[in-house]
Every structure is written in C-alpha cells, then in structure tokens.
C-alpha cells in the first residue's frame, strides 16, 4: 500500500518537474527584440507573444516558408510542446517539386518561381511532414547564407529542356534529374533523423511531435470583387496551387487579428512592402499617399482607408503579394498613443529592432493580401458572423 502511494507521489512530482522545465524553457526563449534606447522612449509594449529567433532567408524568395513555420513554432511553444527550430528548406524543396510537376503538366504555361503562399507550407507539412533545422538546413559546402539564384536557374533550364525534347511523349522519369539538382544545391534529405533521442521520419515528426493538423489553421482574405463569406482563390502570381482563402469584410479581418494577438496567438501576414510608407531600414510601416517620399516616422500622418480604397489599390496592382511575415504583438506609440503591430521579419537583424518592425493598423488594413491564424484564436461569435461554422 505504502509502496503504491510512494510511486504515485513520485510520478506526480516528476510530472510537475517536467511541466516546470518545459514552461521555463518556453519563458526563457521569448524573443523580445533588443531595441535601441531611443526606441524604448518611442514605443510602449502592450501585448507581446512568443516567437522564435530572427532568421535570414538570404537571397531567396522563400519568406512564405520562414513566416509560416514561425507561426507553427509559436504555436508549439504556446501549447507547451517545446521550442522548435524547424527546417524551412525541407518544405521549400518539396514545394519546388510540386511547382515543377505543375509546370511540366501545363507545358510551361504556368508560373515556376521561388515564391508561394502560406497555405502551401501547411499543405506541405500535411503531405510530406517536417523536420528540425538541425536535421536539414539546406546549406551545403560550408555555406552560411541561403542563395537560390543558381539553384533556381538550374531548375528552370532543366524543366525547359524536358519540355523541348523533340519527342512529344515525355519521359516518365524526369523527376530524378530534378531531384539531383536539388541535392546538389540543398543537400540530400535524410529519410530518418534523431530528435530528443528518438528516431523519426518527417511524417512521424509532424504527427507525433508537432501534432500538426491542417484544420487547426484558418486562411482569411478580404476583397470586394467577390461575395463575402465564401472561399476565394486569390489572384496573385505566387498562388500557383490555387489555394482558397475565406473572404470576409476588412473590419472582420482586423478584428480577427486583434483578437488573436490579445489572446496570446500570432498571425501569418502576407502583404505589400513596396508601397510608400514601408521601410525596413526605419523599422516602420505607415499608410501614406503614393507621392510620399523619404523615411516614415512614428508621427507621420496617415491617409484614410476603407474597403473601396483597398480594392482599388489591389486592382491597380499597387497592393501586391510581396512578402510574408509574422505578426507577434501590439505596441503603442508613446507620442500619439497610436497602436502598431509588432512584426517579425526574415531579413536578418535589419533595422533598429534587429529584424523586427512595426506596422500601423492602417497599413495592415490597406496592404494585406491574406492572413493565416490558428482556428483556436477565433471566437465562436466571430466564426458565426463570418459563417465559418
């Protein structure tokens, strides 16, 4: 009897110890940017949620992989499942293969580019699994920085050579040659790898460690040229897979972002970063007039915005699918009390906040192509209003 009680108490103590270690691990790795003393007097933190360290996508157009994996890394930590550093390039090479197949079957009449959207990464994890950065970095020959110029050029030449063969009946085994190029530039992918002392395949790692479910995420957009509360295939070049996003009014999209951040979640943000008012150098994104020049400041006056202005900017090709980042918090300007979203970028330690930047709500409202949120971040009332349940 006493032996059983002793075992029960010991097990309980071990469980508490495990929870405390896991909790401490999460709390001590919160990546709050080391901002300059000047910025400390300008911005006041309001709600900052967990995110992993700043990474650098280098000379690639793979922000979609860096930002969406950052969202998943934040979720695993929020769920007390541990802090992950996941491999962006494992996902990237799998999506390169899907793009190649699409390009060949459409006889070169489809886009073959480095870019993609957030839903492509979610699909890739569901289909192919995931792995830690330590198992596959995508860097070879001692490289310290990602650069896909030569890789992409080689892939494009190879695919076009397959299509240009005189015999119109294509060989069924063109993919091995494509894989050889990926291996040469990114390295061979391990079939299995070790994580925390256990052996995993990518599929098992995604299922058992990340507990990944595609249904745990909601894809949202907002445009007026189609009805609200229906799925919509966003008309941007990088949407090669024709992924559909749930179309809601812009006010509802902003409510969803705010609510998620306030509850401790983060958001994947797909946006235009070429419009005036966005400056990675200054670390600020402000909604200004098209004729604006120079660097924006915290007190730069902003233009009005609404759904009509937003739609016009999209149809004029002013607002485009430029870049994907992660919204991790909400801060407030000390001078004018204006709220700003804190955004994690993937351009390395750029700007005054070492890779983080701040975007005004007006900028986000006017320049967002889409967002992806954990479904748990959305209230039952919001889901009902937006007809997702």
pLDDT tens readout for residues 310-367: 999 999 999 999 999 999 999 999 888 999 999 999 999 988 888 999 999 999 999 9
Distance, in Å, from the CA atom of 325 to the CA atom of 371, rounded to the nearest integer, reads: 10
Phi, psi for 348 (deg, rounded to 5): 75, -165
Statement: residue 25 has pLDDT above 70 = no
Mean pLDDT of all residues in the chain? Answer: 89
Residues 346, 351, 353, CA angle at the centre, nearest 5°?
Answer: 85
Q: Please state the rounded mean pLDDT for residues 15-26.
A: 37
Statement: residue 30 has pLDDT above 50 = no
Statement: residue 4 has pLDDT above 70 = no
* Alpha-carbon dihedral angle through residues 95, 97, 103, 106, given to the nearest 10 degrees: -100
Q: Which two three-digit tokens encode residue 386?
A: 């937006």
3-state secondary structure of 91: helix
The pLDDT score that the predictor gives to residue 88 is: 98
Burial 339-368 (b: 16+ CB within 10 A, else e): ebbbbbbbbeebbbbbbbbbbbbbbbbbbb
The pLDDT score that the predictor gives to residue 23 is: 38
Distance of CA 260 to the CA centre of its chain: 16
| Residue among 87, 71, 156 at smallest CA distance from 128 | 87
Note the pLDDT tens digit of each residue in 253-281. Answer: 999 999 999 999 999 999 999 999 999 98
The pLDDT score that the predictor gives to residue 44 is: 86
Q: Which two three-digit tokens encode residue 280?
A: 């990675």
For tokens 């001590």, name the residue.
28
Kindly report the pTM of this predicted structure. Answer: 0.89
Note the pLDDT tens digit of each residue in 164-189. Answer: 875 666 777 899 999 999 999 999 99
DSSP annotation string for 293-319: -S---TT-------HHHHHHHHHTTSS
In which band, very low, low, confident or very high, does the pLDDT at 27 lie, cut at 50, 70 and 90?
A: very low
The pLDDT score that the predictor gives to residue 95 is: 97
Q: Which whole-number Å values give the CA distances from 19 to 13, 72, 81, 206, 208, in the listed order?
A: 10, 21, 10, 22, 18
Distance, in Å, from the CA atom of 235 to the CA atom of 389, rounded to the nearest integer, reads: 26
- Long-range (24+ apart) CB contacts under 8 A made by 347-350 are 347/56, 347/57, 347/280, 348/54, 348/55, 348/56, 349/54, 350/280, 350/281
Distance, in Å, from the CA atom of 85 to the CA atom of 69, rounded to the nearest integer, reads: 9
Statement: residue 66 has pLDDT above 70 = yes
Give the residue, 70 or 30, on which the prediction is more confident: 70
């Amino acid at each position: 009897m006493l032996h059983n009680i002793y075992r029960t108490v010991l097990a309980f103590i071990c469980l508490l110890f495990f929870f405390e270690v896991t909790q401490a691990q999460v709390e001590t790795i919160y990546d709050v940017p080391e901002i300059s003393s000047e910025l400390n007097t300008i911005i006041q933190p309001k709600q900052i949620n967990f995110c992993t360290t700043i990474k650098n996508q280098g000379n690639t157009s793979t922000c979609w992989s860096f930002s969406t994996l950052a969202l998943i890394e934040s979720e695993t930590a929020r769920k007390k499942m541990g802090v992950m550093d996941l491999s962006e390039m494992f996902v990237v090479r799998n999506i390169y293969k899907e793009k190649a197949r699409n390009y060949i079957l459409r006889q070169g009449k489809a886009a073959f580019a480095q870019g993609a959207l957030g839903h492509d990464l979610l699909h890739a994890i569901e289909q192919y699994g995931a792995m830690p950065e330590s198992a596959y970095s995508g860097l070879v020959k001692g490289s310290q920085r990602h650069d896909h110029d030569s890789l992409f050029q080689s892939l494009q030449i190879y695919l076009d050579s397959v299509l240009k063969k005189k015999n119109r009946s294509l060989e069924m085994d063109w993919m091995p040659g494509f894989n050889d190029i990926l291996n040469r530039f990114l390295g061979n992918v391990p079939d299995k790898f070790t994580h925390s002392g256990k052996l995993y395949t990518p599929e098992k790692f995604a299922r058992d460690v990340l507990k990944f479910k595609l249904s745990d995420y909601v894809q949202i957009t907002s445009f007026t040229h189609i009805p609200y509360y229906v799925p919509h295939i966003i008309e941007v070049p990088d949407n090669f897979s024709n992924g559909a996003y749930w179309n809601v009014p812009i006010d509802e999209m902003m409510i969803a972002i705010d609510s998620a951040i306030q509850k401790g979640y983060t958001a994947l943000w797909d946006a235009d970063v070429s419009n005036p008012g966005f400056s990675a150098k200054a670390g600020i994104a402000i909604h200004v007039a098209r004729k604006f020049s120079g660097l924006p400041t915290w007190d730069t006056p902003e233009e009005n915005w609404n759904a009509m202005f937003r739609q016009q900017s999209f149809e004029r090709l002013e607002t485009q699918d430029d870049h994907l980042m992660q919204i991790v918090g909400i801060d407030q300007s000390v001078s004018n009390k204006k709220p700003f979203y804190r955004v994690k970028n993937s351009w390395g330690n750029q700007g005054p906040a070492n890779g983080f930047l701040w975007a005004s709500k007006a900028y986000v409202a006017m320049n967002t192509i889409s967002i992806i949120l954990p479904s748990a971040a959305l209230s039952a009332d919001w889901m009902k209003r937006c007809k997702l349940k």
